[in-house]
């Protein structure tokens, strides 16, 4: 044994020295820059943003307070508003003008951002599409967008301004010095658009069956752009994709609407007693301490209001402090339910608004999901600081402070599919979660969509897992990204791309960043280190304007992990993961110089990776086996419906019979060649294995190795990614085992987004039955793209793939 170890160390030492010499003389060698520091790729630290990722001693940000009055003219589908803005210059700079966003101009034919793509026929030929085309070619104004009717300073003196597409520059009468404030007034109006026809974040939806409207008033008022230390004015045009960057401030908003409308809004309503009947106001107060949702406006009352619209008006008044935006929804169709929760010593009102079309889903789940999301996100970031969190069913998905708009309608008879239910659960968690990212941890969505969508999708994944361990999450689990990462390199884009320039927006801005963070948590850093660092980022940048560098630096600073290699590969690069187990060299302790590796007949096995639909990822397994975790659907039996029971065999399904059928189709465990007592004595008790890996994809990752032994047991070794640091293309790992290994598999839990699993095996693997192969190909909802039934030769001795 001693001689064997000495020989191995000698050979490895010689190769290492030779390779090191090659590196110095050959810049094109296998040693690249994947483990070098990001260096100048990140901005230089300064007094505003430190090298640790924390705000510096001279960090500053601007402030904008709004006093708004508006009226919703339902008959003419028009919004009329006036606002007084107090803008505070906390920067060290002198400003001679300020920039405001006019997002409604997105719909105007003359003032749209005019970021045109190559010509394609519109999906639907509509009057708006024709008008838009005519407007570009013939300067025809379709009359949509913001119309500024008055702009004055605090004394009533007119101010000069220039509208450039979706942005408006206001000239200051005198330069605004550091520490000074500027107060000005704007009167404006616009035609409310049919959101269901021409799209957009806000507008109206018309219901022809009952003749009523549902209004989502979002990005609806002229509002300040961000002026920051890292880029000055963020006045990139609004195209409809990159959402926004906004300045924090206080809002006092009065909305005059038809008297039978119900309003859900950013902030707290300060005149419920005036706009609600005594009965409804009593229900609202009851909801504050209720442990289940209370209907403030019942289904019967909402249906009654639909039938006889009021011609009178009411004014609702809301106050919202330290928010970056303000949105509201208004309709007589709304059922409204509410429930108070205690969090960090505060009472938070969780509320939902929805029409009869969504009643059977939203009355059961929406407010419960709001409460679950607020609690879960608070655990993973900072305690929720606002007094309200709301979900509005509006057949879309969009978020604003304290309020979001979601989808999830039932069939006309009130039934719903499992897909509709799960989609509704996912979108409510996602949009409510945006209260944290980016409404509180206030990143710039227009520049880096992934900093709000990606981070939020990651925590959404954690919240979905804690809602129900059987929930089919579509973001976060590594294996769900395989098909995207398999695309040709020229079809992939770095995560660090501008919002407007991304072709595959969903994977790039949502799922790839979310998956990357989950890989950090589950596979690279571990939950304890990751959770601490991620919470530190949230604490440092709550109610501030973080950049990607602030996130990257904080994660490393708070964890003690050098992650530059990961940010470089996953966020700045497009290389996929494809780690191959190229060969396995097998040895046995030989005390008599007569060892010959035991021979086995090679068997060609067809190996099909598990389907995306049926695979249980590592997060689910760890959550399920963590006795401290209680899933929300287990805690709250009111969330149980047919589908929940069906998944657990509680809805009349004979799960025992199904389980027996599966067992009958499962091939017997691999049986190893028997060793006699003489063999064991002859070959000793120790086995040696040298595993040789190659990095075929280009992206370095940890190597997770699962050994299956002859006695049926298994063990897993987790090799850190740094094994690649001296040679980014090839590496080896030597193992001494006390038991014979019959098969080896890398990335057994599909944690690293390895795009080719056919080169992950060594050893003899039982051939799957036809039933299993069929299940793996079809999944739960039809064929799964990217599945393969590649052939893996069984190897012994020094065989190679």
Q: What is the tens place of the pLDDT at every residue in 603-628? A: 333 445 555 555 678 898 888 888 89
Q: What is the tens place of the pLDDT at every residue in 704-748? A: 999 999 999 999 999 999 999 999 999 999 999 999 999 999 999
How much is the pLDDT for 673?
A: 40
**CB-based contacts of 655: which residues, under 8 Å, 6+ apart?**
649
Closest CA to 224 of 268, 167, 265: 167
| Cα–Cα distance measured from residue 90 to residue 179, given in angstroms and rounded to the nearest whole number | 5
Of residues 797 and 654, the one with the higher pLDDT is: 654
Closest CA to 395 of 369, 362, 365, 363: 362
Residue 791 has pLDDT above 60, yes or no: no
Would you give the DSSP letter of residue 470? Answer: T
Helix (H) or strand (E) holding 374: helix 359-380
Q: 3-state class of 118 per DSSP?
A: coil
Banded model confidence at residue 669, pLDDT cuts 50, 70, 90: very low
In terms of average pLDDT, the best of 311-325, 618-632, 642-656 is 311-325
Query: Sign of the CA dihedral 224, 225, 227, 228?
Result: positive
Residue-level length of the chain: 801
Banded model confidence at residue 649, pLDDT cuts 50, 70, 90: confident
How much is the pLDDT for 116?
A: 65
| Cα–Cα distance measured from residue 132 to residue 127, given in angstroms and rounded to the nearest whole number | 8
How much is the pLDDT for 642?
A: 87
| Cα–Cα distance measured from residue 132 to residue 134, given in angstroms and rounded to the nearest whole number | 5
Instruction: Point out the least confidently predicted range of 149-153, 222-226, 437-441, 491-495.
Output: 491-495
406: phi then psi, degrees, rounded to nearest 5: -135, 180
| Cα–Cα distance measured from residue 433 to residue 402, given in angstroms and rounded to the nearest whole number | 10
Cβ atoms of 463 and 369 closer than 8 Å: no
Banded model confidence at residue 499, pLDDT cuts 50, 70, 90: confident
Q: What is the mean pLDDT of the chain?
A: 85
How much is the pLDDT for 131?
A: 44
Q: Which two tokens stand for residue 545?
A: 């304007």
How much is the pLDDT for 112?
A: 81
| Cα–Cα distance measured from residue 328 to residue 320, given in angstroms and rounded to the nearest whole number | 12
Of residues 771 and 2, the one with the higher pLDDT is: 771
How much is the pLDDT for 311?
A: 92
How much is the pLDDT for 440?
A: 97
Cβ atoms of 187 and 82 closer than 8 Å: yes
Mean per-residue pLDDT, 233-252: 91
How far does Cα 99 stand from its chain's mean position?
30
Q: Which strands sit side by side in the sheet containing 161-164, from one edge to the other?
A: 161-164, 167-176, 95-101, 223-224
| Cα–Cα distance measured from residue 499 to residue 448, given in angstroms and rounded to the nearest whole number | 6
| Cα–Cα distance measured from residue 15 to residue 12, given in angstroms and rounded to the nearest whole number | 5
Residue 40 has pLDDT above 90, yes or no: no
Give strand ranges (E) for 119-217.
147-153, 161-164, 167-176, 181-191, 203-207, 212-217
Q: What is the tens place of the pLDDT at every residue in 135-161? A: 444 468 889 999 999 999 999 999 999
Of residues 455 and 765, the one with the higher pLDDT is: 455
Banded model confidence at residue 643, pLDDT cuts 50, 70, 90: confident
| Cα–Cα distance measured from residue 773 to residue 301, given in angstroms and rounded to the nearest whole number | 54
Q: Which strands sit side by side in the sheet containing 268-269, from one edge to the other?
A: 147-153, 181-191, 78-88, 63-73, 249-258, 313-323, 268-269
375: phi then psi, degrees, rounded to nearest 5: -65, -45
Q: Quick count: other Cβ atoms within 10 Å of Cβ 659?
A: 11
Q: What is the tens place of the pLDDT at every residue in 537-577? A: 999 999 999 999 999 999 999 999 999 999 999 999 999 99
How much is the pLDDT for 685?
A: 75
Would you give the DSSP letter of residue 776? Answer: H
Residue 4 has pLDDT above 80, yes or no: no
Banded model confidence at residue 589, pLDDT cuts 50, 70, 90: low
Helix (H) or strand (E) holding 407: none
| Cα–Cα distance measured from residue 283 to residue 264, given in angstroms and rounded to the nearest whole number | 16
Q: Report the alpha-carbon angle 435-441-443, nearest 5.
A: 105
| Cα–Cα distance measured from residue 741 to residue 239, given in angstroms and rounded to the nearest whole number | 58
Of residues 234 and 627, the one with the higher pLDDT is: 234
Q: Which two tokens stand for residue 631?
A: 């899933």
Mean per-residue pLDDT, 430-446: 95
**CB-based contacts of 166: which residues, under 8 Å, 6+ apart?**
101, 102, 103, 105, 106, 111, 112, 113, 237, 238
Mean per-residue pLDDT, 15-40: 59
What distances in angstroms separate CA 611 from CA 18, 476, 480, 608, 745, one per listed residue? 44, 16, 10, 9, 17
Cβ atoms of 314 and 275 closer than 8 Å: yes
Of residues 32 and 502, the one with the higher pLDDT is: 502
State what percent of residues in the chain have pLDDT above 70. Answer: 81
Q: Is residue 553 left, alpha or beta, with left meaning phi > 0 and alpha meaning psi from -120 to 50?
A: alpha
Instruction: Point out the least confidently predicted range of 8-17, 42-51, 331-340, 668-677.
Output: 8-17
Would you give the DSSP letter of residue 800? Answer: B
Mean per-residue pLDDT, 674-681: 48
Cβ atoms of 352 and 337 closer than 8 Å: yes
Banded model confidence at residue 650, pLDDT cuts 50, 70, 90: confident
Residue 285 has pLDDT above 90, yes or no: yes
Q: Report the alpha-carbon angle 565-567-570, nearest 5.
A: 100
Q: Report the alpha-carbon angle 32-36-39, nearest 5.
A: 130
756: phi then psi, degrees, rounded to nearest 5: -135, 100
Q: What is the tens place of the pLDDT at every residue in 349-365? A: 999 999 999 999 999 99
How much is the pLDDT for 109?
A: 87
Of residues 245 and 653, the one with the higher pLDDT is: 245
Q: 3-state class of 759 per DSSP?
A: helix
| Cα–Cα distance measured from residue 782 to residue 453, given in angstroms and rounded to the nearest whole number | 28
Q: What share of the chain is helix, strand, coil (3-state, %, to 5)?
A: 30, 25, 40
How much is the pLDDT for 11?
A: 29
Q: Report the alpha-carbon angle 78-79-83, nearest 5.
A: 160
Residue 14 has pLDDT above 90, yes or no: no
Q: 3-state class of 545 per DSSP?
A: coil
Would you give the DSSP letter of residue 363? Answer: H
| Cα–Cα distance measured from residue 23 to residue 16, given in angstroms and rounded to the nearest whole number | 11
Q: 3-state class of 66 per DSSP?
A: strand
HEC letters along 431-461: HHHCCCCCCCECCCCCCCHHHHHHHHHHHHH
Residue 6 has pLDDT above 60, yes or no: no
Would you give the DSSP letter of residue 156? Answer: S
| Cα–Cα distance measured from residue 229 to residue 234, given in angstroms and rounded to the nearest whole number | 11
Give strand ranges (E) for 685-756.
687-695, 703-709, 714-719, 730-737, 741-746
State what percent of residues in the chain have pLDDT above 90. Answer: 69
Q: What is the tens place of the pLDDT at every residue in 193-209? A: 999 998 888 999 999 99
How much is the pLDDT for 39?
A: 87
């Amino acid at each position: 044994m001693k001689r064997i170890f000495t020989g191995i160390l000698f050979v490895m030492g010689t190769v290492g020295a030779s390779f090191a010499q090659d590196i110095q003389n050959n810049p094109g060698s296998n040693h690249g820059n994947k483990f070098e520091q990001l260096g100048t790729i990140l901005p230089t630290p300064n007094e505003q943003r430190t090298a640790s990722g924390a705000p510096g001693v001279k960090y500053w940000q601007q402030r904008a307070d709004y006093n708004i009055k508006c009226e919703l003219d339902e008959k003419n589908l028009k919004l009329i508003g006036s606002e007084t803005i107090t803008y505070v210059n906390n920067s060290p700079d002198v400003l001679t003008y300020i920039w405001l966003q006019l997002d409604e101009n997105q719909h105007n034919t003359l003032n749209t951002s005019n970021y045109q793509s190559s010509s394609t026929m519109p999906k639907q030929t509509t009057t708006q599409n024709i008008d838009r085309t005519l407007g570009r070619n013939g300067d025809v104004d379709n009359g949509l967008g913001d119309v500024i009717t008055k702009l004055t300073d605090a004394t009533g003196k007119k101010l000069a301004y220039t509208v450039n597409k979706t942005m408006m520059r206001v000239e200051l009468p005198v330069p605004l010095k550091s520490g000074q404030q500027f107060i000005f007034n704007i009167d404006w109006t616009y035609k409310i658009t049919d959101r269901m026809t021409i799209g957009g974040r806000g507008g109206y939806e018309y219901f022809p069956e009952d003749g009523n409207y549902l209004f989502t008033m979002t990005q609806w008022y002229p509002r300040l752009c961000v002026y920051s230390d890292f880029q000055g004015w963020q006045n990139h045009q609004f195209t409809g994709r990159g959402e926004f960057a906004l300045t924090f401030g206080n809002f006092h908003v009065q909305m005059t609407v038809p008297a039978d409308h119900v309003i859900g809004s950013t902030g707290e309503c300060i005149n419920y007693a005036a706009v609600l009947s005594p009965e409804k106001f009593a229900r609202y107060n009851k909801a504050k301490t209720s442990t289940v949702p209370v209907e403030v406006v019942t289904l019967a009352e909402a249906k009654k209001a639909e039938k006889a619209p009021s011609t009178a008006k009411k004014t609702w008044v809301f106050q919202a402090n330290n928010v970056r935006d303000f949105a509201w929804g208004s309709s007589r169709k709304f059922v409204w339910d509410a429930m108070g929760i205690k969090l960090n010593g505060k009472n938070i009102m969780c509320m939902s608004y929805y029409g009869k079309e969504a009643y059977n889903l939203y009355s059961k789940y929406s407010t419960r999901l709001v409460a679950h999301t607020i609690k879960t996100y608070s655990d993973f970031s900072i305690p929720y600081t606002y007094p309200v969190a709301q979900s509005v069913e509006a057949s879309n998905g969009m978020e604003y402070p304290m309020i979001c708009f979601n989808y999830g309608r039932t069939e006309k008879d009130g039934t719903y599919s499992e897909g509709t239910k799960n989609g509704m659960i996912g979108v409510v968690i996602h949009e409510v979660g945006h209260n944290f990212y980016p409404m509180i941890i206030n990143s710039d969505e227009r520049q880096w969509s992934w900093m709000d969508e990606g981070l939020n999708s990651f925590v959404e994944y954690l919240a979905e897992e804690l809602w129900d361990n059987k929930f089919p999450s579509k973001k976060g689990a590594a294996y769900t990204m395989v098909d995207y990462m398999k695309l040709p390199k020229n079809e992939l884009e770095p995560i660090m791309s501008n919002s407007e320039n991304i072709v595959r927006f969903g994977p790039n801005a949502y799922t790839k960043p979310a998956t990357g963070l989950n890989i950090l948590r589950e596979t690279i850093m571990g939950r304890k280190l990751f959770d601490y660092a991620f919470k530190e980022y949230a604490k440092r940048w709550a109610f501030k304007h973080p950049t990607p560098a602030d996130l990257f630096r904080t994660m490393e600073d708070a964890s003690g992990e050098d992650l530059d290699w990961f940010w470089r590969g996953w966020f700045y690069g497009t290389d996929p993961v494809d780690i191959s187990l190229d060969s396995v060299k097998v040895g046995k302790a030989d005390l008599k110089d007569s060892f010959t590796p035991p021979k086995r007949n090679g068997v060609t096995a067809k190996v099909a990776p598990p389907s995306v639909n049926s695979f249980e990822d590592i997060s689910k397994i760890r959550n399920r086996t963590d006795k401290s975790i209680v899933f929300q659907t287990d805690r709250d039996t009111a969330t149980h419906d047919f589908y929940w029971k069906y998944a657990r065999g509680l809805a009349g399904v004979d799960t025992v019979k199904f389980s027996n059928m599966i067992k009958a189709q499962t091939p017997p465990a691999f049986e190893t060649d028997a060793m006699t007592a003489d063999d064991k004595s002859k070959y000793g008790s120790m086995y040696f294995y040298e595993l040789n890996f190659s990095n075929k994809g280009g992206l370095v990752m940890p190597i997770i190795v699962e050994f299956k032994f002859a006695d049926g047991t298994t063990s897993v070794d987790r090799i850190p990614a740094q094994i690649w640091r001296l040679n980014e293309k090839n590496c080896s790992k030597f193992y001494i085992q006390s038991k014979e290994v019959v098969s080896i598999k890398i990335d057994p839990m599909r944690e690293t987004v390895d795009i080719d699993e056919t080169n992950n095996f060594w050893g003899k693997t039982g051939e799957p039955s036809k039933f299993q192969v069929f299940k793996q190909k079809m999944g739960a909802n039809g064929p799964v793209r990217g599945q393969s039934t590649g052939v893996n030769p069984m190897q012994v001795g020094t065989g190679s793939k």
